[in-house]
Amino acid sequence: MGLFKEIFCWWSGNTWGTRLYIARKMRFVGEDELGNRYYEQRKGVGPTGKKRRFVTYKDYAEASKVPPQWHGWLHHTVDTPPTEESYQPKAWEKPHVPNMTGTAQAYRPAGSILTAAKRPKATGDYKAWSPE
């Protein structure tokens, strides 16, 4: 990462200010399989009456990169971080898929102007509004 990005660009990692804040006020809790690092406030509580918890992303900041077990911990749904328990993913849990919005792989339903698929004709249950 270049020095300019390191100093000014928050979207490609942490700025120096964030790193300083982490070093002074936070304690490291764990790291997930994607390389994201999780922290919790050392002393006191945040504005909600609970310790602040947050994540620093390995690459670009994208909220969908947080795995389900860490999501629960970040939002105070569970008190024990996944590193302190033997978490076993359920059979129905799928691996991470990045947010594809704005890419060629984005979901485009039938009728979208960005796809060749045609929207089915109205079936007669719709009556257009017209001013009287």
Q: Along the 132 residues of the chain, how does pLDDT read in single tens digits? A: 566 666 666 565 677 788 888 889 999 999 998 899 999 999 988 888 899 998 988 877 788 888 888 998 999 998 889 888 887 778 888 877 778 888 888 888 877 788 777 766 767 777 788 897
pTM of the model: 0.69
Name the DSSP letter for residue 47: T
First to last CA, the chain: 63
Secondary element (H or E) of residue 39 = strand 37-41
